[in-house]
Amino acid sequence: MFVLYKTANRVINKNETTSLLEETCSRILSFCNSNAFRQGICIHSPIIKLGLQHHLYLNNTLLSLYAKCFGADTARHFFDEMPQKDVVSWTGIISAYVKSGNHEMALRVFDSMLISGQCPNGFTLSSVLRSCSALGEFEYGTCIQGYMIKQGFDQNPVLVSGLVDFYSKFDLIGEASSLFIDKGNHDTVSWTMMISSCVQARRWSQALQLYVDMVEAGVPPNEFTFAKLLGACGVHGLNYGKLVHAHMILWGVKLNVVLKTALVDMYSRCQRIADAIKVSNLTPEFDILSWTALISGSAQNFMFRKAVATFCDMRVSGYIPNNYTFSSILNVSSLMLCLELGQQVHSRVVVAGLEDDVSVGNALVNMYVKCSDKVDDALRVFRGISLPNVISWTSLIAGFAEHGFQHDSFRLFMEMRAAGVEPNSFTISSIIGSFSAAKLLPQTLMLHGHVVKTNLYKDTAVQNALVDFYAGSGILDDARRIVDTMSCRDAITYTTLASRMNQMGHHELALNIITDMNNDDIEIDEFSTASFLSASAELGTVVTGKQLHCHSLKSGLCRWVSVLNGLVNLYGKCGCIRDAQRAFREIAVPDTFSWNGLISGLASNGYISSALSAFDDMKLSGVRPDAITFLSVLSACGNGKLVDLGMEHFQSMSEVYDIVPQLDHYVHLVDILGQGGRLEEALEVIQTLPYRANALIYKTLLRSCKAHGNILLAEDMAKRGLELDPSDPAFYILLANLYEDSGRGDLVERTLKMMREKQLRKNPSQSWVEIQNNVHPFVAGERSHPQTNEIYEKIESFETELKKHGYHLGMVTRDSYHHSEKLAVAFGLLNTPSKAPIHIIKNNSICRDCHGFIKFITHLVDREIIVREGNRLHSFRKGECSCRG
């Protein structure tokens, strides 16, 4: 550059002709301008000395050089001093402001241009359209379009492309398409612009179809065309991405850094990180965007160590991370829940001076929210962001909510609105989700009122969050009302509703949602299937469960662990233990839920040894048991009367697995000791509980006292239990039965009299049996059923057979003759095929007489009868029961 400056001085010293001087200055400036050489500004001084400061071409070139090297504001000073200005001058300064992102100033200068009487050209209008798009000035942009039509610029391909981009930015893709089609005879740039617009509008299929039309029209694509197409393929799938990659090779498009970055991003999105790395190594050229794409791609594929290693390699290669790079590596820290890595990256952010950058600040807030126990860290970072946007606020609000500070999150929401930042659907749904866990009804009602006043009420995510809150709070009518008014229901809507209904025990209502989904033509996915399987399991409707199983097989949902876990649970609770084991074997990598379902199913069906063996297999496979696992294991030990083994497993919870036993675990421990006859030890467990005892634990020991005839301890347990729950008749009934077994009829009458005086009644015995997708309920003494006569005749025929075989029904025969389980069994035998198993659910324990009655029936009839009472199942077959009772 110094040589050029000396050449200019020699020209001056030799007093050559003016035209030669102008040409020399022009060539030097043009060279410097094209290469953005800052030293080219030195020519400004000789130009003034030579008296060429009025030369318009030289001034326009100097203006462009000032803009490129020193920015729009410096260029503006020179522009204001120019004695003459033409359309190139005005376009140059407008373009400078557009490139610097100062779109408001660009439009002001354009207004001044029009006032000056200067007519814009196509390049001017193209820059102005970009500013209109950036500022959301739709009316201004349409005025520019009208001016273009009047001045005959409407056929200009550059301006047509600009208009297409303008309408696309306002999500008016239909108008953009119409404009594109009407003009015709497009070049590569306009086709690429239209494809880009479709990609930005998330119309992936339309973008790919435009590419096909472009090729058919004989217009060759360039590297920018393929870069945009690869963005669509990242969403549309790997096959499309490979096809576009192949076309890129066939067209002979050179693999530059832009294309390489687009390919890396596409393969990463399609979970082909190995192919992404292979592409990145095809050429030695890298830039900060390609490095960032590799880091982001590794994170998307959960290859966190690879992402960190790539970040380190980038630093070693001399590349300085930008805000997007830091955001990507901070995202890795969040996914890894690695606070130390996040803090190290934070220190580099501070060194780079990017701590006030919005994207980096958002990533830091998210990292501290996910990785740190202190929300103050996230709040401190948030306060350092210069202009926090809706993502910043949402990350902070959601973080406070996740940490249990629901009231603070609501306060931040109000602060966000006061700051003039309007919440988006994710903000609202995040807050409502946290309120759902804390049951904060008043605050949710306020939020509900806010969204009703805005367009957010029409957002499906917000409506789904409201459905979840109201259903989870037990306000099913309001939840259902929102669902009915939704214009766009999806699988999440119905899955949320079904899940909450299951939690509240409304399993039949949950299964009815299957019909709603079919009516709305919404496909049942893996999540909704899991909810429906859970409802079927709780109801014991094995037929419905098998139909869901068939649907899962046909639709390919059986590859999902959640669905297979649901099947294990269903078949285990319905007594189909072989089917449960078969479903378990189909799980490639069983998780804790899988093992829990299997162990629980085996234990409840009386397969004690198999349940404990499955527990050992679980530990050997490397899956860590949880608190639910030990409930099933302790239940198995209790049912199998394995006292010492049960004690050993109970102690291992805290000593080996760092699991703090909850009250439910102590209830099982008391049951284990009680069934083993170690009543004093069971009492000691209750007396040394680290929790406040509940009525259930006293009732559990009371049952053991009844089994072992310990009247004194039983009376003490009944007294303590009734102090906690005076309205539970089970204490009186258990005590009365113990007195009866001990021959104390006087105490039986006194106990039942006390029960009557307190107006307590035993819950009526109920049983349910499923026949052809219909659940038939029966109550003790049922005589309103249409088949009552047939049912009682069936029972009488079995009674006759019982007497023939010398079976004595005992004292309670007359009452138990009408028990609900007998009625359900008789109904099942009358209405099912001769070899089909009968599944019955009971709301309380099966009595001794009915247990023997059903055993005898399976001795006479070749049937399997499965009766579920709570979490325990009795599988009757060939005169035997799985409980061995």
Which residue, chain included where needed, has tokens 């995202």?
331
- Decide which of 717 and 1 is more confident: 717
CA 394/CA 430 separation, integer angstroms:
8
Across 276-290, average pLDDT: 84
Mean of all residue pLDDT scores within the chain: 85
CA distance 435 to 402: 10
Exposed / middle / buried, residue 772 (Cβ in 10 Å: 0-12, 13-18, 19+): exposed
* Torsion (CA) 142, 147, 149, 153 in degrees, nearest 10: -110
| pLDDT score of 422 | 84
Rounded to an integer, what distance in angstroms lies between the CA atom of residue 699 and that of residue 293?
63
- Between CA 565 and CA 596 the distance in angstroms is 9
The closest alpha carbon to 577, from 525, 542, 552, belongs to: 542
Provide the phi-psi class of 569: left if phi over 0, else alpha when psi is between -120 and 50, else beta.
Answer: alpha
CA 17 to the chain's CA centroid: 76
Task: Sheet with 774-779: list strands edge to edge.
Answer: 774-779, 766-771, 838-842, 864-869, 872-877, 880-881
CA-nearest of 336, 334, 314, 316 to 325 is 314
Cβ-based neighbours of 643, under 8 Å, separated by 6 or more? 637, 672, 673, 675, 676, 678
Query: Between β-strands 838-842 and 766-771, what pairing exists: parallel, antiparallel or unpaired?
Result: antiparallel
Higher pLDDT, 50 or 317: 317
| Range picked from 16-30, 459-473, 680-694 for highest mean pLDDT | 680-694
Are the CB atoms for 840 and 863 separated by under 8 Å? no
H or E element, residue 115: helix 103-116
Question: Closest Cα partner for 849 from 788, 808, 881?
Answer: 808
| Chain Cα centroid distance, residue 176 | 34
Cβ atoms of 277 and 309 closer than 8 Å: no
Whether the per-residue pLDDT at 484 is higher than 70: the answer is yes
pLDDT of residue 814: 45
pLDDT digits (tens, 9 = 90+) for 104-159: 898 998 889 888 888 888 888 888 888 888 888 888 888 888 888 887 777 777 77
Distance set, CA 863 to CA 340, 695, 804 (Å): 63, 39, 21
Query: What does the CA dihedral 672, 673, 675, 680 come to, rounded to 10 degrees?
Result: -160
Angstrom CA distances, 733 to 378, 762, 767, 845, stand at 58, 8, 20, 13
Averaged pLDDT for residues 743-751: 88
Give the pairing of strands 864-869 and 838-842.
parallel
What single letter denotes the amino acid at residue 435?
A: F
- pLDDT value of residue 885: 67
CA separation for the pair 607, 882 (Å, rounded) = 8
237 touches 205 (CB < 8 A): no
Residue 746: is it exposed, middle or buried by C-beta count within 10 angstroms (0-12/13-18/19+)?
exposed
* DSSP at 847: P
CA distance 138 to 159: 16
Q: Is the pLDDT of residue 855 over 80?
A: yes
For 649-653, what is the mean pLDDT?
Answer: 95
Position 49 confidence tier, pLDDT thresholds 50, 70, 90:
low
Contact between 472 and 488 (Cβ < 8 Å): no
Q: What is the pLDDT of residue 661?
A: 95
d(CA 130, CA 515): 50
Q: Give residue 39's pLDDT.
A: 64
Helices (H), 504-626: 507-519, 526-539, 542-555, 561-573, 577-585, 592-604, 608-620
Using 50, 70 and 90 to split pLDDT, how confident is the model at 572?
Answer: very high
Contact 71, 39 (CB under 8 A): no
How far is Cα 286 from Cα 325, in angstroms, rounded to an integer?
A: 14
C-alpha distance from residue 628 to each of 598, 608, 663, 872, 873 (Å): 12, 17, 12, 16, 19
Indicate yes or no: pTM above 0.75.
Answer: no
Among candidate residues 651, 637, 573, 634, the one with its CA nearest the CA of residue 609: 637
Give burial (CB, 10 Å; 0-12/13-18/19+) of 723. Answer: exposed
The 8-class DSSP code of residue 156 comes to: -
pLDDT band at 618 (very low <50, low <70, confident <90, very high): very high
The pLDDT score that the predictor gives to residue 292 is 86
In the chain, count H helices and then E strands: 49, 6
Instruction: Read off the pLDDT band of 785 (50, 70, 90).
Output: confident
Helices (H), 270-321: 273-280, 288-300, 304-316
For residue 363, give both structure tokens. 């990533």
d(CA 766, CA 784): 14
Structure tokens at 696: 């259930």
In this prediction, residues 6-19 reach a mean pLDDT of: 49
Closest CA to 704 of 732, 736, 670, 742: 670
Residue 776, beta-bridge partner list: 769
Residue range 256-276: mean pLDDT, rounded:
85
d(CA 358, CA 720): 62
CB–CB of 672/678 below 8 Å? Answer: no
Greatest mean pLDDT among 136-145, 346-355, 561-570, 811-820: 561-570
DSSP category for residue 490: -
pLDDT tens digits, 707-745: 899 999 999 999 999 999 999 898 998 899 899 888 888
Q: Are 222 and 252 a contacting pair, CB within 8 Å?
A: no
C-alpha distances in Å from residue 583, one per residue of 546, 560, 575, 682: 12, 12, 14, 38
| pLDDT, mean of residues 45-57 | 71
- What spatial distance separates the first Cα and last Cα of the chain, rounded to whole Å? 103
Rounded to whole angstroms, what are the CA distances from 389 to 244, 416, 575? 36, 9, 55
Whole-angstrom distance, CA of residue 298 vs CA of residue 306? 6
Task: Quote the pLDDT of residue 535.
Answer: 94
Q: Lowest-pLDDT range, 39-43, 298-302, 399-403, 766-770?
A: 39-43
